[in-house]
Structure 1
Amino acid sequence: MFSKKIPFYFFYLFLFFSFEKIYSQQSYEDLRSRYEAKNENDSTALKGINLYLQKAKRENNLTEQIQGYRDATFFSPDKGTKLKYADSAIAIAKKTDNKELTSTVYLLKGSLYYFYYKNYQSALAEYLKAYQYSKDSKDDYLTYKIIYQMGLVKSYLGYYHEAIEHFKESISYFEAKTKGDYHPNALYNAQKGYLNSLHQLAVCYKNTQDYKKADSIINIGLHISSKSTDFSLEKAYFLKCKGISEFNHKNYNASRNFLLQALPVLNKNEDFYWSSVSDFYIGKNYLSLGKEDFAIKQFEKVDSIFQKRKFIVPELLENYHFLIKYYQKKKNVEKELEYSKKLLKADSIFSKDFNYLSARIHKDYDKQILEESKTKLEARNKLNIGTIILLVSVLILLAILAWRFYNNAQSIKLKYHELEKKLQQQTKPVLPSYENITNYGKSVLSEDIFMDLQNKLKEFEATGNFKENGLTIDQLATTFRTNKSYLSQYINDVKGMNFSKYLSTLRINYITKLMYENPQYLRLKIQGLANECGISSRQNFSDLFLEINNIRPTDFIKQRRKELEEGKISGSAGS
């Protein structure tokens, strides 16, 4: 029986290799033409992409491998798989010397974090890497895509005036590319970039309460996006903006109609950011029209999006204010408590990334709660002695905690200013001559070896090669074409420390200078900062930062942010 199946086995094997040979002889353009017209997230394209990647791997064509992985991120319907393909593209790009290509794939990964995960910290980290690789780029389109994406993050963080400048730059670039003798794909990308930049600029103007400028941009965006069905999502964004604008002008029915036109497209594209905002404003319209029960249904819908996505924007905190007040009025203690807890949950999510948002919640809601409690107490007009003792005890405890907090804050401030002074007064160290090293050092190192190591370490520090993760003294000695003993002795004599301490000091000094001079790095998580300077462990980074700078990295970040916000900086740092 087994022998009868053998011919069929060879027959299928023959067919397989025949097809493989056919596909291997096709050009990359031919292979790509089989799937590139399909819609985004269409998994049927992946079969063709696999053939494309197989050809690129056989031919060891790194550029085409990257293109294949980029295509896979576009057509894969699963967001986790998209990230894996992006990581594969990054790994291949690092093997090339093409900085523009590397910048492009980091930008791709940042966009995935932004659009599919709403993970702004991770998105920002990838955008910063993309920016670093694009510094000398001649690809204007890449540069302005990064400018646009950085504007998105700044807008979400609440830095609207900074974001406005980013979007103005991208508008100026993309608008010029929407006309002229360009390839249809280039024209489409430029029009899309232009419309999205207009939308985000309108959002920023609305949040800075410059409604006149916002309305003008919304009308332009609606006019342009309505000309083609290719821009249905962009049109939905402007319809959403128009709906919010009409609400601000107290045209509640018109506002609701615009928002209802936008919602189906936003939901279809799974843009839960703007879907939740649109649902919230529909609720506010119902509330303004006296239809409270309809409004509450909308507000509960917004809450359901938050519970599912674990994502909320600052203006939607008011959503919980409405729900809590409604159930207070209905004397439904269970529901009031439920939404109070959900508000605290939203607070905890915000406080991880945005301290000022957490402070705003406490300012807006705690004050109101205290005032309501005071009214209730006055109405009752009686407090038993146990309650009074408890309140006094709490006040004393709060006073002690406040005093400790004040002392700690003053200590942190002093340590920060000492480090700041050191950063501002940094000068190039004067390297000792061969004559000034120890006698034992001279017995190990000849003057020629000494000078060779001095030149190589100087270049090592200048190029930032110390950021390589997992670097050992053996690896560096091999790179320098010397031995470990010579290198160790030189570092001990000249730097006054062992190799491990020397490497840690270089890395911490490097990242500290970046954090001080570039506010973008203040928004990275501790692990992101550690990765940036070549330290793998978050805890190890924090311990080394404290040991070398005499201040914890989290305290340094808070103090630096505070000084930047208050304008108490020397003017060296830019955004």
Structure 2
Amino acid sequence: MMRLKFWILLFLSLGFDYIFAQNTLNEDVLRKYNYTELRDSFYDYYNSDKVVESKAIASFYIKKAKHERNDEQITQGYIIAHLSENFNNAIRYLDSMIIMSKKSSNNISMAKVYLLKGNLYYKYDKLKFSLDNYILGLKYAKINKNQELIDATNMNIAYLNCYIGKNLEAARTFRYYLYNGKFTADKYQQDQTRVSLVNCYLEINKLDSAAIFINEGLKSLRLNKNQYTLNQYLYLSGVLDLKRGKYEDAKENLLKSYNYFSNINDTNVNYILYSLGKVYCRLGENNKAFEYFTLLDSNVKKNSVTFLELREVYMYLINYSKQKDDKEKQLYFIDRFFKVDKKLDEQFRYLSMELPRKYDTPKLLEEKESIISDLENRKIILYSSISILLLLLLLVLYLYYKSKKTEKRQIKIAQDLINSIAKRNLEIPDIVVDVASFQKNELIEPKLSFNKLEKQFIDDDQTKIIKLPKEIEDKTIKTIPEDVIQSILKELENFESNNLFLKKGITLVSLAKGMKTNTTYLSEIINTHKGKNFARYLNDLRIEYALNKLIMDKRFRSYKLSVIAEELGYNNEQAFSLAFKKKTGTSLSIYLKEIEKANNF
């Protein structure tokens, strides 16, 4: 397993553009650049392992920020400064950041600092402290609901899971972030996540999956080769070949990656030396295996980077020394075994106990609460849906009841109309209209026959003519000559008795023209003597005609509604149906249905 680069550091590092490189780093030169340019320059030197230059830029950065009393930039200065310092100095920088963050009550800054401290402890193989700081960072990230920092912590926790052998769980985390572009939008981050995933697959012997991702990673480096990442993939290819029994291929790839990482003093050398020793063991070159395992021990003493497989290494070194009868080396490696084993045991035991308690259990509790909340929300949605459905059902029932009540009322109206019309048609042979009676405001009884039109709509079995107020009558008489009134009334009588109102397209203008009068006189007389305006007068005549015709003429009833409407002078069946209902209070369909019922009865 490789010592992987930290994802959170990549997130917090705010520039990798390498916009310029300084030949001289005196303050006069550095003073010309802004904070972003200084940061970029720092990473340029830091990633080229130019420690002196990167330290000088970090120092100036902090000095500039303090001079300007810019707390935000002082914090950024501490971030870059701690990267190129030894452990003790780096911790001091990060502790200074914690003090500043507490003063400003900045939870995001607190989360960042604790995650950086976790990374620093991880780098120096102090995994107990690494976990504790990750958990603190996660706490503050959650307080502020900062998803980016939460995700960064999840990635770093996955590295710790790799250390204690929970590679399958770690693989799920790495695979999720690899395919979630939001978290691995940066090319370098994406490569490091893929490298982490391949490591896990190799540890759990998913060799085909490991091979697929190695090839995918190598293809992604063709255009823009990053030597660090390229050599990581060479190492992973070597481990894959080792597991597949291709020892010569494994040796070639591992030696290439060893030359690169040993030149930059990278801690990944420890893992490469372990794999090289394993290769030579498989090849039967025990002297070479002993040589590389001895180099590994030397590196472990120097950089304190340990991993569980070291127990196997020291057992090999002890047994090899015993076979060579080299008691001094045998005693030395036994002593080294106990020291490393103690550290491994402490770290493994601590992580095995604390990771589930401090990370897995709270995470499961959160998931539990989330599931409970989701179920509660589903219940609320279910109950709300049931309530809405019940309300809709009640509404439908109410509307149904209302429609039935309306239908019942309309049926009653239709029946009353039919009975009233039938009664009048049977009892009254003819109609007599006394014009003088109209002028004397006397009530008259219309006499209807089968072939005569009603002179007005009959309601409740009674024919009514509303008495006109005296002042209206006098006004009419004064404004319109008496002979004109009588002439127009005679014309209207003819208009009604000869069913001329059935003609399509009749208007006040056309009717006035036919009567050889003007629209003002005609409108005034209709309003005064008929008690309604022209439009209602015309419509009432047509509907009253229809009421009788539909009862008396079976053939007329059998016509299509559109034909009946046209016969009555309407432009379309919709206009007729609306006019019928407005006039009678019942629908045409109910009226026709009740006529059929009456005839069948």
Name the TM-score, length of structure 1 as normaliser: 0.53
Is residue 164–residue 204 contact of structure 1 (8 Å, CA) maintained in 2?
yes
2:62 matched to 1:68? no
2:88 aligned to which of 80, 104, 126: 80
2:276 matched to 1:255? no
Residue 310 of structure 1 corresponds to 304
Q: Residue 54 and residue 285 in structure 1: after superposition, are their counterparts in 2 closer, same or farther (change >3 A)?
A: closer
Partners of 2:131 and 2:305 in 1: how far apart?
17
Q: 1:193 is paired with a residue of what secondary structure?
A: helix
Q: 2:179 is paired with a residue of what secondary structure?
A: helix
1:144 aligned to which of 151, 159, 165: 151
- Cα deviation, 1:56-101, whole Å, max 9, x if unaligned, reads 3344322111111112123x34343222222222221222243223
Which consecutive unaligned segments of at least 5 residues does structure 2 have?
1-25, 371-601
Structure having the higher helix fraction is 1
> Greater relative contact order: 1 or 2 (C-alpha under 8 angstroms, separation 6 or more)?
2
Residue 104 of structure 2 corresponds to 96
Counterparts of 1:284-433 in structure 2, within 5 Å, are: 284-355=278-349
- Cα deviation, 1:225-279, whole Å, max 9, x if unaligned, reads 35423x222222211111011011111110000001111222234332x312211
Residue 261 of structure 2 corresponds to 266
- Cα deviation, 1:172-208, whole Å, max 9, x if unaligned, reads 2347754xxxxxxxxxxx2121111111111111212
Partners of 1:20 and 1:309 in 2: how far apart?
34
Percent identical among aligned pairs is: 25
Which consecutive unaligned segments of at least 5 residues does structure 1 have?
1-18, 179-189, 359-514, 524-559
2:236 matched to 1:241? yes
Partners of 2:299 and 2:32 in 1: how far apart?
49
Deviation at 1:32, TM superposition (A): 5.1
Partners of 2:252 and 2:29 in 1: how far apart?
55
Partners of 1:85 and 1:349 in 2: how far apart?
27
Partners of 1:321 and 1:54 in 2: how far apart?
52
2:271 aligned to which of 273, 277, 290: 277
Is residue 234–residue 257 contact of structure 2 (8 Å, CA) maintained in 1?
yes
2:200 matched to 1:204? yes
Q: How many residues align?
A: 343
Partners of 1:99 and 1:250 in 2: how far apart?
51
Residue 160 of structure 1 corresponds to 167
Deviation at 1:292, TM superposition (A): 1.8
Residue 407 of structure 1 corresponds to none
Q: Residue 226 and residue 110 in structure 1: after superposition, are their counterparts in 2 closer, same or farther (change >3 A)?
A: farther
Is residue 144–residue 173 contact of structure 1 (8 Å, CA) maintained in 2?
no
2:213 matched to 1:228? no
Larger radius of gyration: 2
Tell me the amino acid that sits aligned with residue 61 of structure 2: Y
Tell me the amino acid that sits aligned with residue 349 of structure 1: K
Residue 443 of structure 1 corresponds to none
Deviation at 1:50, TM superposition (A): 3.7
Q: CA RMSD in A?
A: 3.7
Partners of 1:323 and 1:34 in 2: how far apart?
45
Name the TM-score, length of structure 2 as normaliser: 0.51
Q: 2:309 is paired with a residue of what secondary structure?
A: helix
Counterparts of 1:8-19 in structure 2, within 5 Å, are: none
Q: Residue 336 and residue 129 in structure 1: after superposition, are their counterparts in 2 closer, same or farther (change >3 A)?
A: same
2:133 matched to 1:108? no
Partners of 2:42 and 2:143 in 1: how far apart?
33
2:358 matched to 1:521? yes
Deviation at 1:161, TM superposition (A): 2.3
Q: Residue 328 and residue 228 in structure 1: after superposition, are their counterparts in 2 closer, same or farther (change >3 A)?
A: same
- Cα deviation, 1:25-70, whole Å, max 9, x if unaligned, reads 9854466566554334533344444443334334432211111111
Tell me the amino acid that sits aligned with residue 212 of structure 2: S
Tell me the amino acid that sits aligned with residue 153 of structure 1: L
